[in-house]
Amino acid sequence: MPKIGRNDPCPCGSGKKYKHCHLPIEEAKQAEQLHLRRAVDTLIPKIITAAQEQTDAIPAAYDRFWDGKYTLEQMSELDDLEGRGAERFLVWFAFDYVLEDGSTLAERLAGASDSDFSTEEQQLLRSWAPVRLRPYVANTVQKGQGMTVSDLMDGSRYEIVDHAASRRVLVDEVLVAHLVPAGEAFFIGGAAAHLTEDTRSKMREFLSLHLEAMQRDDPAAGWPELLHTRSEVLNHFVMQLPVEEPNPSLLESIITQTRASLMLAGESLGLGKRDDAAE
């Protein structure tokens, strides 16, 4: 869009100068967007801290997210073992894990009239309550600015503002992330898993198997139901990937093993898979 001069006629056609018509409105909008953006940066750490305080609920959630692979004592090593694993777990716990009262921590925080949160943070929290972990494909990347992604499962497109991620991510790569809205833009909430392009079709196949298994109990279930109740399976896929080089035969064996274990687990598949996975 060409830049409009302050003294130019306003493009809305009012006949007034831009500075006396839509310029102040635009400026207010930009200021609000900036405030919201700053609130994203302060709110995420607060959510992570609130998650760390849920010491009663963490053990069961941790087991589910890591599929029994790590002990709680290993939490501090997870950032090395699993690329920012501790933070990815805590963000998942806050947004996706259903607590005893039937709500997620994010939903609980959104409902609380808490003076720990600024007005902007409270506004964000209300719009963040429905956010869950999902897989996205990068469609376009503007290095150091942001990117356009589409949901791997339903194809919905989002404009993400993110300096750090857009520096590393390439077109067609996969992000397993919490996309949080702030005004007109989306941001990546906390740490995300970043996967190479070759994982894209296997991830879809992997999730299809899980959906198929879920539909045995609930024939009407679709992607939203799967990702709303079992989004940890996304991490189970991520956990099995090689850290170094792409490995097509390993991707294939993830699918084969998933198919086998879902068949074996049958109807009782889902929570508490740890025992079923024993050899």
The CB-of-233 to Zn ion minimum distance in angstroms stands at 50
The CB-of-21 to Zn ion minimum distance in angstroms stands at 3
Helices (H), 136-247: 163-168, 200-217, 223-229, 232-239
The CB-of-31 to Zn ion minimum distance in angstroms stands at 18
Helices (H), 53-190: 58-65, 78-81, 85-96, 105-111, 119-128, 163-168
Q: For residues 14 and 42, which CB has a smaller minimum distance to Zn ion in the complex?
A: 14
Q: Is 210 exposed, middle or buried (0-12, 13-18, 19+ CB in 10 A)?
A: buried
- Nearest CA among 120, 139, 138, 136 for reference residue 128: 120
Q: Is 66 exposed, middle or buried (0-12, 13-18, 19+ CB in 10 A)?
A: buried
The CB-of-11 to Zn ion minimum distance in angstroms stands at 7
Q: For residues 21 and 129, which CB has a smaller minimum distance to Zn ion in the complex?
A: 21
The CB-of-10 to Zn ion minimum distance in angstroms stands at 3
Is residue 214 classed as helix, strand or coil in its secondary structure? helix
Q: Identify the sign of the CA torsion 245, 246, 251, 253.
A: negative
Cβ partners under 8 Å of residue 59, min gap 6: 72
The CB-of-20 to Zn ion minimum distance in angstroms stands at 8
Q: For residues 14 and 268, which CB has a smaller minimum distance to Zn ion in the complex?
A: 14
Q: For residues 22 and 228, which CB has a smaller minimum distance to Zn ion in the complex?
A: 22
Kindly list the distances between the CA atom of residue 71 and the CA atoms of 61, 78, 86, 97, 128, in Å, as whole numbers in the listed order: 12, 10, 12, 18, 30
Q: For residues 14 and 253, which CB has a smaller minimum distance to Zn ion in the complex?
A: 14
Q: For residues 14 and 145, which CB has a smaller minimum distance to Zn ion in the complex?
A: 14
Contacts to Zn ion by CB under 5 A: 10, 12, 14, 21-22
